[in-house]
Each structure stands twice: as C-alpha cells, then as structure tokens.
A and B are shown apart, each in its own frame.
Chain A
Amino acid sequence: MPEPKRPVDDGLRVESDHGTSDPACGATDPNWLVSRRAFLISGAAAVAYVTIPVRLPGGGITTVRAEVANYPRQRIGRLSTLRTGEPVAFKYPWDDIQAENILIKLGHEAGGGIGPDDDIVAFNSWCTHQGGPLAGTFRSDPGTAGPCPLHWTTFDLTRHGMVVSGHATQGLPQILLEAEGDDIIATGVMGLIFGYQDNRVDPAGKGA
C-alpha cells in the first residue's frame, strides 16, 4: 500500500442558503452544521461541496452547503475481488490502529456507495461512543455495524454511518471512495475518527 499522504487542506468552511422555517414549530432554520468556532477558524482553499437539506418537523426545509477538505488518495482494494458481505480491513488515512477501517460490498444501494450497484462503502471500525471495536460486526444484511460490544450502539451503513440506536454523538466516520477502473480509491474521511483531535494530523507525530 502506498504511504498515506499528508493532507494538503487544513480548512473547513460552511456556506448556507437560508430556507424557510416553520413558524408553527417556532424554530428557525437550523442551517448551522458546524460550530461557529469552526466557522471562525475557517481558511484555506475549498475542495468539495456537499449540500445538506435539513427538514424541520412540520415542514420547514433548509439547506446547507459544506466544504470538505482534501485527504490523501490511497488504493485500498479492487472491485473485481470484493464479494458481497465479506468485509475487508484497511488503514486510512494513517498507519494507525484508530485508523482501521472496513470496506464492504452491501449488495444494495448505500449513501456514498461506489461500484456498478452503488453498494460498496467503507467506514472506520471504532465506535464513536467510547471507541469499542466494531470490526467483527459489519453486516451487509441489513447493512449495519454493531451492536458495539461495549454499550450496544448500531450504525446504518447505507446512510453514511448514522446511528440507528445507541449513544454515539457522531455517526461512524465514512471513508469516501472513488472507483478508478478496477481500483477502489479512498479519498477522504467524513467525520472525526474516535480518539482523534484532528483526522489530518499524523498520529505518528504524537508527542513530537
């Protein structure tokens, strides 16, 4: 495997398109998806945008555009050798135990999925509640990770690692994938890896 490259972008920036809100509900549009603190520290160049619609109970919809920063590109497997329901472990973006991930072909469509059936996804394998090991719990049917052996949290692999039931205060970090011919390339991480302060700081530099 190639050496993980150091991320080039260190920034995170959010723009918002103000939508409607539901006066009956009394809430204004929660188009605020990273803290103001994160907004204040924003800088550096943008790379990719995602649009995030948020619907309020009662009907209001608002959308948010967020930028995600660049991560190293790393080949982690081949489309032709991946079999449905047979998870493959790999490390990304660093050669570090917390950066262990699971690549899995679910056999049904998933958010962020690649391949002909949009069903190949990858996620970090440590529970974002208290860091329990999820590696042995990835299942293509129904498409979940967990329950975590520590406190029984489960995650939805078809919906970007969202918590199904349990306690994690962040979804399971999703490894963003692209297909390049037969190669499966990891291109980024969506969500903070458990134990990390910053996904883009090489843990080998810990204490340096």
Chain B
Amino acid sequence: MTESYVPSDKVLLPPADANVHTTACDYCIVGCGYKVYTWPIGRDGTPTDNALGSDFPGGILRPWVSPNQLNVVKVDGVDHNVAVLPDFDAKVVNTGGNHSIRGGTLALKCHNSEGPTRDRLTSPMVRVNGKLTEVDWDTAIGAMADVSRHVIDRFGESAWAMKTFSYEFFENTYAISKLAFGAVKTPAYSPHDKPGAGADTAGVDDAGLITFNTSYEDWRSAEVLFLSGADPFETKTILFTQWIMAGGAKLIMVLPRRSAGVAYAEARGGLFLQVTPGTDALLHLAISRIIVENGWEDTEFIEKWMASSWEIGAGMGRGTRNTPWQWRTTWGKIGAESFDDYKQWLLDQDESDLSYAAKGTGVPAEKIEQAAEMITGGGGPRPKASFGLEKGNYWSNNYLNTASFSAMGLLAGAGNRPGRFISRMGGHQRGWIGAASYPRDKSPEKLPGRRKVEMDLDRWVEAGKVRFAWVIGTTWTGAMAASQELASRIREMTVGNPNQVQALDRQSIADALIRRVDSGGMVIVDSDIYPVAPVGTEFADIVLPAAAWGEHDAARCNGERRLRLYSKFYDPPGESKPDWWAVARFAREMGYEGFDWETDNDVFEEAARSSRGGVLDYNALVWKARRDGQAGHEALRDLGTTGIQCPIRYEDGELVGTKRLHDSTLELGDPEGPTLHPKWLTNFKSHSGKALFIKSPWALFSDFYERITPDPEKGEYWVTNGRINEVWQSAFDDVRKPYIVQRWPDTFVEIHPDDAAANGIESGDMVRLVNDDVLIQVGGFNRVKAEELSFTWMLENGRIRIGRGEAEAVAIVLDSVRPGLLFTNFLHPGSPANSLVHRVPDPITNRYRFKLGKATITRIGESPYKHAMDKMSFMPRDIV
C-alpha cells in the first residue's frame, strides 16, 4: 500500500445539549459565519439526536461534519470535544453551510496540548544567554517599560517602534493605537503589510471612493465584473462561490496566471486578460481611451457625479496641501480638473495607445477592445458593470494602477449605484479602530515642499534609528520586501550586538538591554501565538504569549463592513492574554492614563467612541445597548452570525445597518440619537461630494520598471506571487493542520513547460530562486527637491543599494503561467518569496511593489514529493 495520510472514517456529533457559540471565520475578508459546539468528552450526539437537528446519513447540501472539523479543547479546565461548523442557519454571507477549506478546518487551529497546536506560546519569555526562558508577566513587562522609558527619553519617541497587525480585532488594535499614537506618540509605526501608515489604494481614495463601499449582494447583481489582481475563487472563496457564481455576471479577470476562477470565467463567456506584472495601468489607460474615443462613457453619470473644475477648486478646494492626498492632487501631475481635462490628457498619452498597451501588457489588442466593450455595452444597452481590485493590482504599481483603475470604472458609470461599484475585494478582515491619529507631524519623512508623510519604518530600521520595537502578530521580515536583507539588518542590531541578557531579574534584563540600545543596537519584543521565525525564535529578547480567536470575546468587520462578535468558547493556553491586556499592562507600567480596562467588553465599548463618523462606526450599537441595560458585546452576540453592517444607524428605535456607501439610492431622514450622517453615505468622499478623475502618467514609474524588468539573456524571470485557497497568510495555522500539510508540505513555484525544459526542470523537482540584484532604497528621509522622488535620481545619488535574496520551492510545470514568468506562494515560512522583491516603495504612496520580483531558477534535485503519491498534488488548478 502506498504511504498516505489517513483520515478518520467516522466522526463524533455534538449532542442536542451542546454549548453553542456563534463566531465568524478567523481568516479571509469574507468572514463567514460559524457555529462552535462544545460538549464534555463521552456525551456525544447520535445520528438521530444531535445539535444539528439533522439525521445522518444526510445527502447533498445537508449538514455534515468532516473529520477535520473536530478537536479537543479545555473549557473551564475540563476537556471538551469541539466542532467548528459553518452556520447552516446563516442568513447572510455563507448561507446553506457553504465554507472554504480554510474556514472549514477552523477546529484544527484550536489549542490542544496533545495535538500539533501544542507548541502555542503559554508563558512570557526572556532570551537569557541566547535561550528563551519563561518568566512571569511582571518581570517581562517591567523590563520592557524600563528599556522603553530610556529609549524615549534618550533617543525620542521615533526610536520606539510599533509593528503590528491591523486586523486582529477592534479591542486589540484600539489598545495598540492608543498606546502608540495616543500615549507614546511615535511615528515609527507600520502595519503588517506595508512599511508605513496610510492608504492601501490611494488612487482609489483620491478619486473620492472609500475602498470597502459595497455589499455582497452587489457582486451578485452586477452584470459585468472587472476583477483585477486577485482570483476571488482562490482568496475570497465564498464571495466567489456564493455571490459571484450565483449572480452569473460576465467576468473579466486580470491576472498574470490562469487559476480556477479564470477557468470558470472563460467557460461562461468571460475574458482572461493575462497581464505582464506591473502593466495594469497601461491596460486601464488603453481601455479608458477606447471608451472616450468611441463615446462609450456614461455621460449622464459623469455630468451628475464627476466634479467639475469649479467644484474642485471652490472654497477650500483641495485643502491646505499639507496632507498626503492634498499634496498628491495638487502636485500638478495627477489631479485632473474635469472630464474634458482627463479626456484630453488621456488622448495625449503615447502609453494609452492600444498597440503600446498590447505590447506592454502582453494582452492581445482585440481582448483589450473587447473588455472596453463589455464594461460599457459598446454603445448598446449599458450593463451594470462593477470593478473589484486587489493586491496584484495595487502591490505592483500602487498609485498609477489604482488611479487609472478608478478612472476607468468611473467612465463606465460605476461607483454609487446597486450592482455598480468600484471597490476592493479585500484580503484580511477589517479589524482596525484607531484610538488616536497617526502623529504625522512627528514623522521624520518629508516629501519635497516640506510636506510630512508617514515614515517608511523598514528604511528607518535599516538606517539604525529604531532602538526598541514591539512586534505584534506579524512575521515582519517575511511579510516585507527584501525580507532577507531586512532580517540581516535586524539580526545585526539584536543578536549581533554584544550586549545580551545574562540573568533573569528585571534589573539585569533592563540593564543589559539599555546597554544594547546605547551602543546602537535594538531590542525586540514579540507578541504572538506561536514561535515565529525568525522574529520570535531568533531576534526577540522578550516574547509575550497572546490569546487568539475563540479564546476571548472580540469584534471586527468583514468586507461588506458586517460587524460580528467572535465568541470566546474555550480557555486560552497557559498564561496567554489578549494583546489589549498586554498593552494595557505595559501602558500602566509606563504611567500612561486611560488603560484601566478589565474585560474585552470594556475596550469594545470605549473604542465605539473612536469609531464615530467612520466607515466602521458602531457607536449606535453600544449606545443602544447601554440604554437597554446590556453590555455592547452582549448586544452584538444577540445578532449572531448575521451581525450588522457598519456604519450602524439608529432609526425609529432600531439599529439599522448600512448596505453600501456612496449610495445614491439611499434615503436618509434626520439623524437620530447618536447617529451621524457623513456625506459619503450618499455622495462620494470628496470636497464636493463628487468623484474625481486622477491622471496616471506612466513616466512616474517607467524608469523603475525598466530597471527591474528581468533580462532573459541573464536567465532572469519575473517572480510574481500570490495566494492559494488552501493556505492562509504565513501558514501559521496551516503547518499545524495535517490535512493541509498533506496538500502543501512545502511551497511551490509554477513554471511554463518551455522554461522548465530549458532549465531541465520537471514537476516535483526542488528549485532555487536567486535574485542578486535586489534594489533597496536607503536614507533620504528629508526630501527637498522635486526630482528626489524619481527613481533615476535616487539611483544616481546613492539612495539605492543592491542586495540579495533567495528562496527554494517545489516546481510545478504548468501552462497556467506564460513563458518568462514564475508564480509562487507569497509568504511561506522558511522560503519568503518577498526576499526576491525590491525594497523600493512607490514614492507617491510608500507602498511596496511586492508582485514585481525577479530571479534565476536552478534545479537542485528531486523533492521528496516527486514520486511520493501521498502528498502534494501537481495537477493544474484550472480544470474545467
């Protein structure tokens, strides 16, 4: 018999009297509703009497429990069985028990001291003589505070950095931002997926569009969907299988690689625009030009909803020019004054020419023409067209891609009507509530004209300016560009510094670490749920154990701003605590006021005040709960997996959710109680309430793009990266799910058969990808002259150094990618694809171009999976 992973062939069923908790999935943006059943060992349900209220065997679309939906957890210290199942009664998001492979295996992520999750962090630890050693919370936090006070006093608050997730629940991010921005007031901050604070898709924001403005039912009611930079089948599964497939829209998929969603789209009359990485702006410009040359734009919409020159300039107009968006739109290069101005600019660009775009993007000219026709109706009846974008779009040429994307969508009349929107599809869920604003005035980074911008934290680290960093729930190095180069610098400043902790009392720890920072070194504190390499396992001096999903009550929103309670259903392991608790404990030690929360709900209710007037405003829920004598979390718990869409309004004694933003069909009365009616509920988010055309001159990108384009003569390939259905983010849970490990025991790289043959590579071979030409921007925080933003200037003036990166992967030979391009998973532990990516952010927005890596490829030998038969499949993912 072939060796194989053997699943169980029976399951336990929750009994009718099992404890039932509602929650939502911990993973992707869609946030499917789940029910968690816990029951004491031995008190199982039966095929005819169980908590699902459904007899077994069942059949198609009936409730079922798979062996990977069960685990054993501690509830009040006692072993309980747990089943985590899609909510078969869900009324929203994932109705009828639909689920992804990620959410479907949520049970496997739970801490089980006898299972693969047993290496959860359970106690604070300090690295003593090189070894992480358990200490109590008082010692760990005390030493952190001693070092922090010294760093802030001696080096200033910008030497004290916060590197954190931006999504893992309101309670935690509120506490984190209250500490970093409200108490320490440090500008040295960056979220998990970018080098600094600020917008992800500034070209969409600057057009007057809020990025998550729509509802899933709009994805179903659209007739044409232009989807750029992600296959939602792979990465936002239920959005695709529950809403897009049900709606039957014609799909235009813009990706460098053919995946399952692309195959589905093509099989149903859709279009696959297989772009060369980094060229989306050319595609958008060419489509837009075809539209205006043929007069296919939505004239009625443009006249009513696009700002005129007068409206743009009236009153305060584009403002004081001192915030990033004001600077961008008054720069003179990108803010269009009107439709006519934009149209003329478009016609004047050599790069918007169809033949130029076809050559640059690699997409045949007739397909570009076809796309322009599909999204506008080509002069015939105008379809309801919508536009979704994600990271392949905005992580390759951030500003120009997003600006040209929104302009194209607006020309087609999308933006403010049901089924006609321009929105992000989303990655992680929306879990950020800022307690205070980012202190931009303290940022050392300036654009020409003394305009302060959010700092690039990685470059600040590279410059040796950070002396203390608290890392919360992110790999930091693996998730950032030029990962190995960043890790090398951090290694040098932490474990490479001679001042190391040698004794385990607070005074000794603080003394050693203060000597470290005084000698130019850096101290790292890492809060996480597992030992994370290398930041936690190798670099951190102090490691703090976090309580996770299901271990405390928490709240956040999904991609349609739907707020739900993620219920606690079992005990956090050991001494682990929610991150808000650790932050509060540290803040009190530092002497900061306003961190006296005792419960998850205390933080949730306080954070409601900071949500007011924002997209995720849930203040009305807490306000009403208090009037009803209820805790905010309990009011949310009552709403179960349905939750409510933010911003939440209070009308006629009831809470009312908001289906979409910029909704021209929404009729609002006078605001009642705590309700606010920001004008972007019914208008665009701009000075005039109208949307704006933003120009996207290719010349702002072309010098960098030419420099990084792989040279086939040198054996270089594009290495672009993305996500796959089966693996979530850094695989922190998936490497502990045997079922997923069987599918993906290692990372992969897809290579075209022609390229594989040229390099002697077959499916299952282990290959090494090397980029010894990784460009890294250094220094230059205080820019004075306009040309300092140009890549050419930076190259000529010592602002770019060259580093190296490499990764290993198992080759899969498929024609899903074109010759000259390799596709790999974006963040596999131990083999970070981001090492092959240049650390030169978009100068306009400070966002990395993660999708534009390059490498040579060399066969190392056969992987263990080439002939194994029991793990890792080399089948194509685009089978019809």
Query: Which residues between 219 and 271 of chain B lie within 8 Å of chain A, taking CB atoms?
Result: 233-234, 237, 241, 245, 259-260, 264
* B6/A50 in contact, CB under 8 A: yes
Complexed CA–CA distance, A180 and B698 (Å) = 69
* A57/B114 in contact, CB under 8 A: no
Residue of B nearest to A57 (CB): B830
Interface string of A169-208 (1 = CB under 8 A from B): 1110100100000000000011111111111110100110
The reply on B303 being an interface residue by CB < 8 A is: no
Q: A112-B4, A192-B10 are in contact. Are A144 and B746 (CB under 8 A)?
A: no
* A151/B101 in contact, CB under 8 A: no
Which residues from chain A contact B737 at a C-beta distance below 8 Å? 30
Query: Which residues between 822 and 878 of chain B lie within 8 Å of chain A, taking CB atoms?
Result: 828-831, 864, 869-873, 875-877
B37 to chain A, nearest CB (A): 13
B726 to chain A, nearest CB (A): 7
Which residues from chain A contact B533 at a C-beta distance below 8 Å? 24-26, 58
Q: A24-B533, A30-B116, A196-B56 are in contact. Are A167 and B99 (CB under 8 A)?
A: yes
Which residues from chain A contact B59 at a C-beta distance below 8 Å? 97-98, 131, 195
Partner of B10, one of A26, A58, A176, A200: A200
The reply on B532 being an interface residue by CB < 8 A is: yes
Q: A197-B56, A197-B65 are in contact. Are A66 and B534 (CB under 8 A)?
A: no
* B742/A57 in contact, CB under 8 A: no
Complexed CA–CA distance, A146 and B877 (Å) = 11
Partner of B8, one of A38, A52, A59, A168: A38
Q: A12-B9, A195-B59, A198-B9 are in contact. Are A170 and B738 (CB under 8 A)?
A: no
Q: A69-B9, A168-B101 are in contact. Are A28 and B116 (CB under 8 A)?
A: yes
The reply on B666 being an interface residue by CB < 8 A is: no
The reply on B446 being an interface residue by CB < 8 A is: no
The reply on B154 being an interface residue by CB < 8 A is: no
Interface string of A12-44 (1 = CB under 8 A from B): 100000000011111111111111111110000
Stretch in B68-76, B388-396, B645-653, B783-791 touching the partner: B68-76
Which residues from chain B contact A51 at a C-beta distance below 8 Å? 3
Residue of A nearest to B532 (CB): A26
Interface SS, A side: loop
The reply on B78 being an interface residue by CB < 8 A is: no
The reply on B41 being an interface residue by CB < 8 A is: yes
Complexed CA–CA distance, A30 and B743 (Å) = 14
Assuming A37-B71, A195-B62, A199-B9, what are 15 further A-B pairs, CB within 8 angstroms? A27-B736, A37-B81, A58-B829, A61-B864, A69-B9, A98-B59, A111-B869, A112-B2, A152-B241, A163-B743, A167-B99, A169-B99, A170-B68, A197-B57, A203-B57
The reply on B747 being an interface residue by CB < 8 A is: yes
Complexed CA–CA distance, A167 and B62 (Å) = 16
Which residues from chain B contact A59 at a C-beta distance below 8 Å? 830
The reply on A46 being an interface residue by CB < 8 A is: no
The reply on B112 being an interface residue by CB < 8 A is: yes
Indicate the member of A152, A191, A199 with the most B CB atoms within 10 Å.
A152
Complexed CA–CA distance, A193 and B64 (Å) = 10
Which residues from chain A contact B245 at a C-beta distance below 8 Å? 151-152
Complexed CA–CA distance, A151 and B260 (Å) = 11
Which residues from chain B contact A96 at a C-beta distance below 8 Å? 57
Lowest 5 CB-CB distances: which A-B pairs, in order?
A26-B531, A30-B116, A111-B869, A58-B830, A198-B10
The reply on B319 being an interface residue by CB < 8 A is: no
* B11/A52 in contact, CB under 8 A: no
Stretch in A72-80, A83-91, A153-161 touching the partner: A153-161
Partner of A191, one of B9, B13, B60, B743: B9
The reply on A132 being an interface residue by CB < 8 A is: yes
* A55/B72 in contact, CB under 8 A: no
The reply on B631 being an interface residue by CB < 8 A is: no
The reply on A56 being an interface residue by CB < 8 A is: yes
* A131/B830 in contact, CB under 8 A: no
Complexed CA–CA distance, A157 and B747 (Å) = 21
Which residues from chain B contact A197 at a C-beta distance below 8 Å? 10-11, 13, 47, 56-57, 65
List residues of chain A with CB under 8 Å of any chain B CB.
12, 22-40, 48, 50-59, 61, 66, 68-69, 96-98, 109-112, 126, 128-133, 139, 142-144, 146-147, 150-152, 154, 156, 158-160, 162-171, 173, 176, 189-201, 203, 206-207
Partner of A170, one of B67, B100, B831: B67
The reply on B664 being an interface residue by CB < 8 A is: no
- What are 21 A-B contacts with C-beta separation under 8 Å? A25-B735, A26-B530, A27-B736, A32-B738, A54-B742, A55-B741, A61-B864, A98-B59, A111-B4, A142-B876, A162-B742, A162-B871, A164-B877, A164-B879, A165-B724, A170-B67, A192-B9, A194-B64, A199-B9, A200-B9, A206-B57
Complexed CA–CA distance, A167 and B8 (Å) = 18
* A32/B116 in contact, CB under 8 A: yes
Residue of B nearest to A112 (CB): B2
The reply on B17 being an interface residue by CB < 8 A is: no
B262 to chain A, nearest CB (A): 11
* A52/B3 in contact, CB under 8 A: yes
Partner of A35, one of B8, B56, B746: B8
* A126/B264 in contact, CB under 8 A: no
The reply on B739 being an interface residue by CB < 8 A is: yes
Interface size in chain B (residues, C-beta < 8 A): 94
Complexed CA–CA distance, A30 and B100 (Å) = 22
* A166/B746 in contact, CB under 8 A: no
Q: A143-B875, A166-B260 are in contact. Are A160 and B101 (CB under 8 A)?
A: no
A81 to chain B, nearest CB (A): 25
Which residues from chain A contact B3 at a C-beta distance below 8 Å? 50-53
* B60/A192 in contact, CB under 8 A: no
* B864/A55 in contact, CB under 8 A: yes
Q: A112-B2, A131-B59, A169-B104 are in contact. Are A147 and B260 (CB under 8 A)?
A: yes
Which residues from chain B contact A12 at a C-beta distance below 8 Å? 8-10
Which residues from chain A contact B7 at a C-beta distance below 8 Å? 33-34, 170-171, 190-192
Residue of B nearest to A54 (CB): B741
Partner of A30, one of B532, B741, B871, B873: B741
The reply on B448 being an interface residue by CB < 8 A is: no
Q: A35-B70, A126-B60 are in contact. Are A163 and B726 (CB under 8 A)?
A: yes
Complexed CA–CA distance, A111 and B867 (Å) = 10
Which residues from chain A contact B530 at a C-beta distance below 8 Å? 26-27
Which residues from chain B contact A112 at a C-beta distance below 8 Å? 1-2, 4, 869
The reply on B105 being an interface residue by CB < 8 A is: yes
Which residues from chain B contact A61 at a C-beta distance below 8 Å? 864
Which residues from chain A contact B234 at a C-beta distance below 8 Å? 165
A142 to chain B, nearest CB (A): 6
* A207/B55 in contact, CB under 8 A: yes
Complexed CA–CA distance, A164 and B259 (Å) = 11
Which residues from chain B contact A162 at a C-beta distance below 8 Å? 742-743, 871, 873
Q: A37-B70, A96-B57 are in contact. Are A26 and B537 (CB under 8 A)?
A: yes
Q: A152-B233, A165-B260 are in contact. Are A33 and B5 (CB under 8 A)?
A: yes
Partner of A160, one of B2, B12, B726: B2
Which residues from chain A contact B105 at a C-beta distance below 8 Å? 169
* A144/B879 in contact, CB under 8 A: yes
Complexed CA–CA distance, A25 and B478 (Å) = 12
Which residues from chain B contact A28 at a C-beta distance below 8 Å? 116, 118-119
The reply on B97 being an interface residue by CB < 8 A is: yes
Which residues from chain B contact A203 at a C-beta distance below 8 Å? 57
Interface string of B33-60 (1 = CB under 8 A from A): 0000000010000011000000111111
Partner of B72, one of A35, A160, A173, A200: A35
B97 to chain A, nearest CB (A): 6
Indicate the member of A57, A129, A143 with the most B CB atoms within 10 Å.
A57
Which residues from chain A contact B65 at a C-beta distance below 8 Å? 197
Interface string of B1-33 (1 = CB under 8 A from A): 111111111111100000000000000000000
Complexed CA–CA distance, A201 and B735 (Å) = 33
The reply on B536 being an interface residue by CB < 8 A is: yes
* B69/A169 in contact, CB under 8 A: yes
Which residues from chain B contact A195 at a C-beta distance below 8 Å? 56-60, 62, 64
* B2/A52 in contact, CB under 8 A: no
